[in-house]
Structure 1
Amino acid sequence: MKVLVTGGAGFIGSHIVDQLLEKGHQAVVVDNLSTGEEEYLRPDLPFYRMDIQDEGIDRVIGEEQPDAVIHQAAQSQVTRSIEDPLGDARTNILGTIRLLESCRRHGVAKIIYASSAAIYGNPQYLPIDEQHPLSPLSPYGISKGTPEEYIRAYHSLHGLSFTIFRYANVYGIRQVPHGEGAVISIFIDRLLRDLPLTIHGDGEQTRDYIYVEDVARANVAALARGDGETLNLGTGVNTSLNDLVKTMEKISGRKLEVNYGPNRPGDIKYSYFNIDRVKSVLNWDPITDLETGLTRTLDFYGAL
């Protein structure tokens, strides 16, 4: 199968490309390299340095004729979405619509879309399942959720198959130390520079941390499964920032200095996923526990 990956030189996208190739698929990458790195890609891989807002995306899809599109490209910083909501919407909403139009015109069979836990807002109950009400707290949450509705409409109107993933906090090798859910990357960056970690609040706030290779496996699995599904993608494990720091100390053998500050307005206190649906639909499991994933990541960056 030929698969076009938007954001395929980025953190998550490059791991998806790696696993596509391992499974014998053909991969085509579109990435503007705003956060991605061309060095993550094989030199013989078809690569188009292009923004998803670029009209040229239609030419690429027309020429390459992919069977499926895995859409990872996005503006992923909550703070940037607040400072520049128009720019955020242009990338995440209008860019996705342009991509959907190209898929329609050129007969792409399926799109797999990376949405976010940010669309849920403050949890009304835990763990969060796919039926949880949507109440995003930022333009980023809105701009990740809105394309879901467009994708469902393109399915109804034009027969475009889809799987939507709502990501928990993805971490691992190649992550840049900013963006939504990048707390582990930020902590590792500060550890490498011998700087104290900063935690807003008491550190008891929790998140669901999923290793990037597990996310990539789910995306590849969705090429053959999960049509018409919207699925939470996490581990179902509730981990506090304080526990995260303790695990990093255990792995690195170093005592980490932590500065605690006031809570940030709008921060969510507790959040983790119910993942029963994705496990059942995709026959998939998150096989990398936090200690294993952190060990691999710290070792990659030379922090061990």
Structure 2
Amino acid sequence: MNTPTGQSILVTGGAGFIGSHLVETLVTDNDVTVLDNLSSGRREWVADQATLIEADIRDSEAAEEAAAGADLIFHEAANVSVEQSVEEPVDSHEVNVDATLQLLECARKEDARFIYASSAAVYGTPDSVPIRETDPKAPASPYGLEKLTAEEYCRLYNELYDVKTIMLRYFNVYGPRQRGGQYSGVIDIFLGQARRGEDITVHGDGEQTRDFVHVDDVVAANCLAAVNGTPGEAYNIGTGKSISIKALAQLTVDTVESDSRITHVAARDGDIERSRPSIQKARAELGFEPSRSLGSEIESLC
């Protein structure tokens, strides 16, 4: 895997789910600083070789300190809760947009390459699948709009100030250290229910489909973007394959060899029926090729 080497690197959110795995890969051949307030991450997840600055990404002085001398910035820190963005849109905007703008200023000052962790939420409900990077953007939540707004700032900073920004639109990431969420954490939720022998609860008929990509593949995509990515461009990061939530529930029961029943509860308002990206652009330009299969990885998480 192509990875940055011999660089001074800042990883925001580097104590969290995706960021901590990224840091583990980067510390071998780079000088890595982590900026994280530990609101969802854990200190013990940060590799010993990395320097941890415990502070909020909205703290401008801490951000400037963390970015000082950086050649490369991976911006993973965010409020990733759609529900929280709906309940507290102003606070969510401050974290996901204002703090990103502040970090872009740091990248501009340091002449650092900037890799931004965006989201499939920028697309909203797609007209068709697979979803391509050029497809219409119609966010269905403040979170999705915040990610799209931050992407636009990244694009503008590339055009106006020649900050080398690259945006990665993550689909449904799963793996070790994940916390449960609506769909990003559904595998962890299903596994917990299956281990405890509880009913596995599926919203609606379970026919809604999602693309689940392993955190190790997301780390690889970040490293490839840092080396091969085209500034100002966005890339879908997934597997290009999808599974229904009902089939995922059954796969979990079978893998755990659980007695859990699969039960259905009310559908969520505004739930997207189909979500599957085209990853052709990431393959062609980054050299990205997902290597983890969902079935074997669920087994490893058991």
Please indicate, yes or no, whether the TM-score normalized by the shorter chain is above 0.5: yes
State the alpha-carbon separation in 2 of the partners of residues 226 and 9 from structure 1. 25
Deviations 1:114-166 (A, max 9, x none): 11111101110111011110001000110111100001111111111021000
- CA distance in structure 2 between the aligned counterparts of 1:133 and 1:105, rounded to whole angstroms: 33
* Structure 1 residues 202-241: aligned runs within 5 Å: 202-228=205-231, 229-241=233-245
Q: 1:128 to 1:62 in 2, by over 3 A?
A: closer
Contact conserved, 2:17 with 2:177, CA < 8 A, in 1?
A: yes
State the partner residue of 2:27. 21
DSSP 3-state at the match of 1:237 = coil
Distance 1:268 1:252 in 2: 28
Aligned residue identity for 1:224 = V
CA displacement, residues 242-297 of structure 1 (integer Å, 9 cap, x when unaligned)? 11112212321223222201211111011111111101111120000101221222
Equivalents in 1 of 2:135, 2:49: separation in Å? 43
1:81 equivalent in structure 2: 85
User: 2:299: which partner in 1?
Assistant: 295
Question: How well do the aligned residues superpose, as a CA RMSD in angstroms?
Answer: 1.4
Q: CA deviation at 1:180?
A: 5.7
Q: What is the count of residue pairs matched by the alignment?
A: 295
The farther-off stretch of 249-258 and 37-46 is 249-258
Provide, for residues 41-99 of structure 1, a one-character-per-residue CA deviation record: whole Å limited to 9, x for no partner: 12342100111101223432454x11010000000111111111111101000010111
1:247 corresponds to: 251
- Cα deviation for residue 191 of structure 1 reads 2.9
Give 2:3's aligned residue.
Answer: none
In structure 1, how many angstroms separate the alpha carbons of the residues matched to 2:177 and 2:186? 14
TM-score w.r.t. structure 2 length? 0.94
SS for the counterpart of 1:111 is strand
Q: How does 1:55-70 map to 2 (within 5 A)?
A: 55-61=60-66, 63=68, 65-70=69-74
Q: Does 1:113 align with 2:119?
A: no
Give the conservation status (yes or no) of the 8 Å contact 2:27–2:47: no
Shift of 1:189: 2.8
Q: Is the 8 A contact 2:210 2:275 kept in 1?
A: yes
Q: Distance in 2 between matches of 1:29 and 1:58?
A: 10
Measure the CA separation in 2 of the matches of 1:246 and 1:132: 32
Question: In structure 2, what is the Cα distance between the partners aligned to 1:10 and 1:258?
Answer: 31
Matched with 1:72 is 76
- Tell me the distance in 2 between the aligned counterparts of 1:256 and 1:114: 35
Distance 2:62 2:157 in 1: 18
Instruction: Select 2:172's aligned residue among 166, 169, 174.
Output: 169
Tell me by how many angstroms 1:106 deviates: 2.5
Structure 1's unaligned 5+ residue stretches are 299-304
Cα pair distance change 1:204/1:280, threshold 3 Å: same
Bigger drift between 50-59 and 176-185 goes to 176-185
